[in-house]
Each structure stands twice: as C-alpha cells, then as structure tokens.
C-alpha cells in the first residue's frame, strides 16, 4: 500500500447561526490513495458537502475549521491562500452538482476551458486551444471545435456536466471531488456521466471522491464507502464488505428504505421513522439512537467511537452492531 | 379508443391528447397524441425523463393546461369541454400533489388555514365542520392537529410539508389525485415514509392515482400498471411486474439498465444509453426514440409505431420490440 494522497485528520466544522453553533462536520478521519475512489454517502444535512468544502478550503467565511487536511504532503488548512489557489484547479479539482451554476453563463466554453489551462499550465493560446479540443473530445462532446464558441445555455444539462468535467480534468488533477455530479441529470445521462468519470479516473490514475445521497451510485463505482449521519462518519468499509454486511443500523436502514426494482408493487417500504437531529442541538449519545430500532439506554448516554472489530478496514460507530459474526461485537 | 386497461368503465380516459406550447415562433410538442385509461381504485405510474411531457400530461388531465385536441373523460364526462362553474365543481373530485412541498405551501399562512382553504373555496360555510375535516385529514397523514394547525410552513421539514400537502389534497374527499414527482425532493429515509403514507391513504379513502415520477423503482413500488413516456408519446404501457420483467420497448429496456443498483456485485452496464433526447421543438419523424435506438431502421423513421398488444395487457409502440 502506498502512502495516502489525502488524509483528513480529526476535521470538525462549526457554523455560527442565530440559533447557536451548528456542528456541520463532527471530527471526521478519512484517507484516500492515488487511483482509488471513495464514496461519501448520506442524506441532506449530514455534512458530506461541508466535509468536501473543508478539503477544498472553500468553507463559508464564518465557518470554524479544526483538524488537518494533508494533501500530497502539505496541510491545506495551514497553506497560504496563494499556494492554495494554485493547487485548486490543478492538483485538486471539483465537479459540482449543478453545471449551470458552476459554469459562467456569459463566457464561452472555450474561454472558460482555456482560462483554467493557461492559469495553471505554461501553454500559449494555440496550445491551450488544442488541449481544450482534445479534452472536450475525451469527455464525449461531438464537434468539439464548434462547442468552444458556444455558451453554456446552448448546451443540455448532460453536455454542461461533461464540460465541467473537462475543465476539472484539464490540468491533470491528482484528486477529483465530484459532489452529487449526477443528481441534476436524468437516469440515462447519469449512467453516461458516471462511466465517463470512471474511465478518466482509470486512465489518469486519479484519486476520486464521489459525494452522493444514492447508495446505488457508489455501489458499482467506489472502492471504499463512508456513510455519514449528523456530521459524523458512522460506518466505513471497502464497498464489497459494506454491502455484504452493514454493521451500523443506519446504513442498513438507509439501504432498506430504497425502493427496489425486484420488489413486488404495493410492498410497504421499511421506512426510517422520525428525522435527523437538529445540528444546533447535538445529542449526548449516538445521533441515530432516537430513530434506531436496536437502541438501548447506553446509546442515549454516550457516543460510540468509530472502530473496527472483525475486519481491520471495516469501521463502525455503534455499541450494538448488527450482522456480526458470532462472539465478536459489543 | 384503445382498451389499454382491460377493465369495465375506467374512471379516467385520456383519448388522443395533444398539448403544445408556443415558444417564440416555434412550437414545443409536449404531448403528441397520448391515450390511456385508469380504472377506479388503480394506480397508474407514469415514467419518463425530464422534458418527456409527463408533467404536462398530468396538468392537462386536470385542465390546468388546456389541450390542443383530444379528450379527457372523467367518470364519463369530458373535462376538456367544461368551463367555469362546471369545471370548478368537477375539480373537487380531482386533486394534485406537487414535487416541491415547501414551495407549494404559502409561507405566510398557518397550516390550519392552508388545509382548510379548499373547503372554503368549495363553499363549506360551517366553521366547526371545516375544523373537523381539517383535524381528520391531518391525523390521517400522521400529524397531531392540535400541534400543527397554528404553525407556519417554515417550522416543518420537507417530509412534514409533503404530509401537509397530502392532507390538503384529501380534505375535499377527492376520487382521483395526480401525484407529480411527490417524493423526488425528499431524502431516502423520508421518501419511504411518504410512499407508505400514499399507499395507506389510497386504501383508506378509496383513491385512484396517476403517479408521475422519473424513478422507475419508486413508480413500481406503488403502481398497478406503468406507462413509459418518451418525448411526448407513450412507448409502453403494462402491468408493473410484467413490464419490469419483460420490457418490450427498447427505451424501457434502456431505462431499466441505466438505474444504479445498490449492489456492488451488479456491475454497471457500460453506457447503454447513447446520446441524449432530441428537442421537443423538432421531434424526429416516425418513432421519436429512433435517434437513440440500437434497433432503429428505415421503417422507424418513416412510420409512427402504434401501441399494440405484446402480451396480456402489455402494449408497446415499437416496430422491433424486445419481446
């Protein structure tokens, strides 16, 4: 195993709100090696996007960040803003959910691509243009030369996301963060974009983080999955191991709540009752305890640590893990 | 009229409906000759990708968007021919639930007033009766009426707002509800709660539903039959289980293949879905799916495929069906 490209150490993010401090990310540790894909899964408000913003150092100004984000040997939290700016867009790239808002509506696609390339790589205009055309072709855009002169509104949602990916890939990043890259897209286009990301990742040996609310998106595409709930990673494991045996009741409940194609119509879905806790009012015990059908008194009193038992790389934060082999567990 | 529901006397009968929008000097062909029937007590799922015309069809059924041609028969009466008071009376029997539950509630009004509004419009003058009905439907959707009637929408989460919208749609005791992507804006754990609630309400109040969504698994969970729409036309209609097990139209097959499955042992199929849907301003001639279809040939561009029976109750509009 090589040294990780990215290590997130004890990262916490707090946002001041009129109702008190909101703990968006609650002491998260994660790591990722080159060429690997990490899926971060969770529902809205679980802190998955804030965590990615902490890696990118793109948090809201008022946010308070503690912990370390080690990327390629440097702590991004302590890096001067000028060095950060040079790193972002080159070694550290991002694709957002909504390509219409991440692209500039008044600049042509060519301008936006060439701007990024010339900012980070020493290329003259004709070379940058040539590279832009190659990139658009690589992400599957027909007639790339004509596209350069067009504006984002002249492209479909799927095309725009391809362009956003071309910009993100333009400087050969070491890490690509894709934050809900296909949520705004239709299902047939979603499959195309996920294939494209996987193909480019293999070719470039990039590390990739896919952030999504959809367990289906990470199941076939990520090497490792981290499930987040109320700001914390509550379970983390290699994808195969996680789907084979989920130890944290929240992960299990989340998977069960998804309607499945093989289930007969009118079968009641195993829903999770209640809703996530108020992030400005942290609970003393496990955040999932009020909704958990396995919860005991201990779960309301103390927070379980994220730790492993059977397999060293399968971590979970639960006092009473489920689907354990006999004789192991709490 | 084709017998798409092999039942006696459907509650809703949509016959060759055409809806078009003007866009500058161009025309958007949103719905181009759709026929379908929904039997009393049935849930018909309507699936398709954005821009396929499924929401327009739902609105045209309720006369919120007037059709260019075709008929919408509800309990034997033609809604497209109705106007004014007659239409308003009819509207008590049909309701609509929208995708964004927060945006569909007036942020300045109290929940009790929001849910009571349809009763006032329908002319229920007795305040005690209105209160009784509001409490009844709020309890039915799992909210405590005494706790919620005095509060404002912003005090509720998305899932709770959708419960309030469902309560409002039930307050006039309708027979038929069009649910337009009712769970798309909700998180997975909340989505399951709302889908279960819709099923309960359907059974309890004897409802008939047109359930519009882009997610096939969500549609299958609640539907007796499913209709697949592409670029303004129906591709396929059939009983849910049968249609998902043996899709006949290549587009249905492609949709099924594109769904991400939450199982790492199922390898995602490599981009089965080539290309993107064409514009509804200039739809392709013949079969509208032909530009993305691996089976398309000469005939598909020349001749519009009609819906024809492929299996018992299963209809597909394709010259080269999969089964």
DSSP class of A142:
S
Render pLDDT for A79-131 as a digit per residue (tens, 0 to 9).
Answer: 999 999 999 989 999 998 888 788 999 999 999 999 999 999 989 999 999 99
Interface test with A, best of B264, B265, B277, B278 (most A CBs within 10 A): B264
Q: For residue B277, what pLDDT is reported?
A: 83
Q: For residue A129, what pLDDT is reported?
A: 95
Asked whether residue A326 is assigned to any structural domain, the reply reads: no
Render pLDDT for B288-322 as a digit per residue (tens, 0 to 9).
Answer: 999 999 999 999 999 999 999 999 999 999 999 99
Check CB contact under 8 Å for B272 and A191.
Answer: yes
Q: What is the CATH number of the domain that holds A97?
A: 3.40.50.300
Q: For residue B269, what pLDDT is reported?
A: 66
Render pLDDT for B112-143 as a digit per residue (tens, 0 to 9).
Answer: 999 999 999 999 999 999 999 999 999 999 99
Measured at the CA of A196, the angle between CA A194 and CA A197, to 5 degrees, comes to 65
Interface residue ranges in chain A relative to chain B, Cβ cutoff 8 Å:
43-44, 156, 158-159, 186-192, 194-195, 213-217, 219-221, 239-240, 243, 253-255, 257-261, 263-273, 275
Contacts of B50 in chain A (CB under 8 A): 186
Show which of residues 141-160 on chain B sit within 8 Å of chain A, judged by CB atoms.
157, 159
Residue B164's pLDDT band, with cuts at 50, 70 and 90, is: very high
Q: Average pLDDT over chain A, rounded to whole?
A: 92
List the end-to-end C-alpha distance of chain A, in Å, as a whole number.
30
Asked whether residue A307 is assigned to any structural domain, the reply reads: no
Contact A43, A276 (CB under 8 A): yes
Asked whether residue A177 is assigned to any structural domain, the reply reads: yes
pTM equals 0.89
Asked whether residue A186 is assigned to any structural domain, the reply reads: yes
Residue B23's pLDDT band, with cuts at 50, 70 and 90, is: confident
For residue A145, give its domain range: 6-222
Nearest C-alpha of chain B: how many angstroms from A121? Answer: 32
Asked whether residue A36 is assigned to any structural domain, the reply reads: yes
Torsion of CA B115, B117, B122, B124, to 10 degrees: 80
Cα separation, B300 vs A25, whole angstroms:
54
Q: Is the dihedral of CA A218, A222, A226, A231 positive or negative?
A: negative
State yes or no: pLDDT of A258 exceeds 70.
Answer: yes
Render pLDDT for A50-69 as a digit per residue (tens, 0 to 9).
Answer: 999 999 999 999 999 999 99
Closest among A168, A263, A261 to A209, alpha carbons compared: A168
Q: For residue B165, what pLDDT is reported?
A: 96
Q: For residue B257, what pLDDT is reported?
A: 87
Contacts of B244 in chain A (CB under 8 A): 261
Q: Please count the structural domains in chain A.
A: 1
Give residue for tokens 């308070």: A64
Question: Across the interface, which of A215, A261, A265 has its CB nearest the CB of B222?
Answer: A265
Render pLDDT for A285-322 as a digit per residue (tens, 0 to 9).
Answer: 999 999 999 999 999 999 999 999 888 999 999 999 99
Buried b (16+ CB within 10 A) or exposed e, A203-240: ebebbbbbbbbbbbbbbbbbbbbbbbbbbbbbbbbbbe
Is any Cβ of chain A less than 8 angstroms from the Cβ of B25? no
Render pLDDT for A172-222 as a digit per residue (tens, 0 to 9).
Answer: 999 999 999 988 788 888 888 898 999 999 999 999 999 999 898 999 899
Asked whether residue A17 is assigned to any structural domain, the reply reads: yes
Asked whether residue A305 is assigned to any structural domain, the reply reads: no
Residue B107's pLDDT band, with cuts at 50, 70 and 90, is: very high
Show which of residues 42-81 on chain B sit within 8 Å of chain A, judged by CB atoms.
49-50
Alpha helices (H) along B141-249: 145-148, 158-170, 188-205, 216-222, 240-245
How are strands ordered across the β-sheet holding A20-32?
A: A20-32, A6-17, A64-71, A74-75
**B189-208 average pLDDT score:** 94
Q: Which residue of B has its CA nearest to A265?
A: B221
Cα separation, B120 vs B115, whole angstroms:
10
Asked whether residue A227 is assigned to any structural domain, the reply reads: no
């Amino acid at each position: 195993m090589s040294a990780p490209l990215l290590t997130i150490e004890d990262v916490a993010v707090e946002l001041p709100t009129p109702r008190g401090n909101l703990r968006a990310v609650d002491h998260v540790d994660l790591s990722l090696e080159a060429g690997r894909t990490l899926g971060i899964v969770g529902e809205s408000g679980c802190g998955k996007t804030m965590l990615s913003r902490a890696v990118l150092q793109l948090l809201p100004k008022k946010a308070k960040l503690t912990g370390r984000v080690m990327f390629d040997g440097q702590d991004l939290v302590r890096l001067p803003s000028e060095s950060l700016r040079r790193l972002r867009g080159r070694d550290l790239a991002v694709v957002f959910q909504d390509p219409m808002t991440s692209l500039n509506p008044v600049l042509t696609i060519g301008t936006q691509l060439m701007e990024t390339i010339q900012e980070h790589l020493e290329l003259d205009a004709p070379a940058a243009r040539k590279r832009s055309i190659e990139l658009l072709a690589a992400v599957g855009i027909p007639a790339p030369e004509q596209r350069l002169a067009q504006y984002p509104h002249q492209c479909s949602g799927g095309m725009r996301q391809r362009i956003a990916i071309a910009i993100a890939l333009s400087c050969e990043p070491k890490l690509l963060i894709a934050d809900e890259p296909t949520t705004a897209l239709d299902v047939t286009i979603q499959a195309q974009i996920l294939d494209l990301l996987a193909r480019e990742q293999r070719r470039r040996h990039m590390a990739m983080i896919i952030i999504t609310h959809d367990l289906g998106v990470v199941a076939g595409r990520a090497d490792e999955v981290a499930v987040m709930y109320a700001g914390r990673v509550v379970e983390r494991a290699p994808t195969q191991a996680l789907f084979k045996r989920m130890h944290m009741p929240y992960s299990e409940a989340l998977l069960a709540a998804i309607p499945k194609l093989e289930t007969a119509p009118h079968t009641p879905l195993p829903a999770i009752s209640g809703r996530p806790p108020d992030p400005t009012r942290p609970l003393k015990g496990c955040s999932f305890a009020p909704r958990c059908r396995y919860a005991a008194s201990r779960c309301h009193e103390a927070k379980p640590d994220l730790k492993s038992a059977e397999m060293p790389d399968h971590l979970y934060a639960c006092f009473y893990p489920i689907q354990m082999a006999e004789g192991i567990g709490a | 009229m084709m017998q798409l529901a092999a039942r006696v006397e459907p509650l809703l009968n949509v016959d060759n409906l055409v809806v078009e929008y003007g866009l500058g000097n161009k025309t958007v062909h949103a719905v181009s000759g759709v026929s379908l029937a929904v039997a009393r007590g049935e849930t018909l799922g309507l699936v398709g990708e954005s821009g396929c015309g499924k929401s327009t069809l739902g609105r045209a059924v309720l006369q919120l968007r007037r059709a260019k041609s075709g008929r919408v028969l509800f309990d034997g009466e033609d809604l497209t021919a109705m106007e004014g008071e007659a239409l308003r009376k009819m509207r008590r029997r049909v309701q609509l639930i929208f995708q964004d539950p927060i945006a569909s509630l007036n942020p300045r009004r109290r929940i009790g007033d929001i849910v009571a509004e349809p009763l006032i419009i329908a002319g229920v003058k007795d305040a005690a009766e209105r209160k009784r009905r509001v409490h009844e439907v709020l309890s039915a959707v799992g909210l405590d009426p005494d706790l919620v009637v005095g509060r404002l929408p912003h005090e509720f989460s998305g899932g709770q707002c959708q419960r309030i919208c469902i309560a409002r749609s039930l307050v006039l005791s309708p027979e038929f509800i069009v649910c337009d992507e009712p769970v798309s804006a909700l998180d997975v754990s909340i989505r399951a709660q709302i889908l279960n609630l819709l099923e309960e309400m359907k059974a309890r109040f004897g409802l008939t539903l047109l359930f519009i969504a882009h997610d096939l698994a969500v549609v299958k969970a609640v539907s007796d039959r499913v209709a697949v729409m592409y670029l303004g036309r129906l591709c396929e209609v059939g009983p849910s289980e049968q249609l998902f097990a043996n899709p006949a139209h290549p587009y249905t097959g492609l949709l099924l293949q594109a769904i991400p499955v939450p199982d790492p042992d199922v390898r995602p199929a490599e981009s089965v879905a080539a290309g993107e849907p064409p514009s509804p301003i200039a739809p392709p001639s013949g079969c509208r799916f032909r530009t993305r279809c691996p089976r398309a040939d000469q005939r598909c561009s020349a001749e519009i495929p009609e819906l024809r029976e492929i299996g018992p109750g299963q209809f597909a509009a394709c010259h080269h069906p999969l089964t």
